[in-house]
Amino acid sequence: MTVTPADTTSARGAPVLTAAGVAKRYSRRRAPALDGVDLEVRAGTITALVGPNGAGKSTLIKAWAGFERPSRGTVEVLGIDPFKDRYGAQAQIGYVPQTPTLYRDLRVEEHLTLAMTLRRGFDRDLARRRLDDLSIPLTVQANRLSGGQQAQVQLAIAIGTRAPVLLLDEPLAGLDPLARREFLYILEATVREHGTTALLSSHVVSDVEQACDRLVVLGAGRKLLDEDVATAVAAHRVVAGDALTLAVGRVVASYLDQRGGILTLVDVSGGIDPGVPMREALLEDVMLGYLAAGRPGMLDRVRAGIAGR
């Protein structure tokens, strides 16, 4: 059965993307890209998928899109396994890759026409309205658009499919701050107006702060954090100093501040030690702490440098 956006809205909060024990290994000589990931993305939300390079973000997104078959475990889109029913799963997805895949010599309007031929039920008027909101002309060839405009065209096409799920694989990489903000504004409007669910891969704190309800952090192929943004911030504190010299609750990781000093992110959901000076965490602290937890080697080199002075 095909699930429409209206069906998704009525089941707001139900899982629309699931991963169960998902592992992916490209080579026996390399560490696994994913290593036993369990995850649910719920309807009507915008979830940020964050992690250092090589953490498995793109691999997981491509698994849901039916482009990368897991070595172990299962993924589902609205209950559909994309490797048992690829057409059924992909009919529920609007996909925006990191690198624009527009045809250089086709005008914007021609891309919308092509989308109509490839995707049953494509809403060209909806896509046009989104582009009109940003003053992107339909008569211009793709190779004359800026990177931000090309990303917006791809998002408009994904929105025009009226798919209940949007998979956005770092589409904001390389865009200027204004283009990023405009992209996220259109994304937010679509989710709020149509009950769409979005999974956005991004490293940028402002992206998550502006648009996202939930934060999922991957590191070394594993899920390190999966929490509502506000709850994740409230459950952590920051201590000045290195985790190697601290004993304050559950240490997540140490990371560098802007001046090269070392801070430590601590999970205080089990309680706070009143004898340890600490400050409230910002979303940036939470993201940096878990990114560092997924890539510890860099700080080891900093420690070695400090010790050798």
Locus of tokens 């624009």: 100
Closest CA to 55 of 31, 27, 38, 86: 31
Q: Is 238 left (phi over 0), alpha (psi -120 to 50) or beta?
A: beta
Q: What's the pLDDT score for residue 11?
A: 47
**3 pLDDT tier (thresholds 50, 70, 90):** very low
Q: What's the pLDDT score for residue 297?
A: 63
CATH architecture of 5-227: 3-Layer(aba) Sandwich (3.40)
**229 pLDDT tier (thresholds 50, 70, 90):** very high
Task: Say whether pLDDT at 1 is over 50.
Answer: no
Q: What's the pLDDT score for residue 246?
A: 63
Q: What's the pLDDT score for residue 250?
A: 84
Q: What's the pLDDT score for residue 299?
A: 56
C-alpha separations of 202 from 49, 149, 152 in Å: 6, 18, 16
Distance CA 268, CA 252 (A): 10
Closest CA to 266 of 278, 258, 275, 284: 278
Task: Say whether pLDDT at 8 is over 60.
Answer: no
Q: What's the pLDDT score for residue 308?
A: 46
pLDDT tens per residue across span 57-109: 999 999 999 999 999 999 999 999 999 999 999 999 999 988 878 999 999 99
pLDDT tens per residue across span 134-155: 899 999 999 999 988 999 999 9
Q: What's the pLDDT score for residue 31?
A: 83
pLDDT tens per residue across span 9-42: 334 578 999 999 999 998 877 888 999 999 999 9
Average pLDDT score over residue span 191-197: 92
**196 pLDDT tier (thresholds 50, 70, 90):** very high
Domain borders along the chain are 5-227, 236-307
Closest CA to 40 of 227, 276, 305, 188: 227
Distance CA 18, CA 33 (A): 18
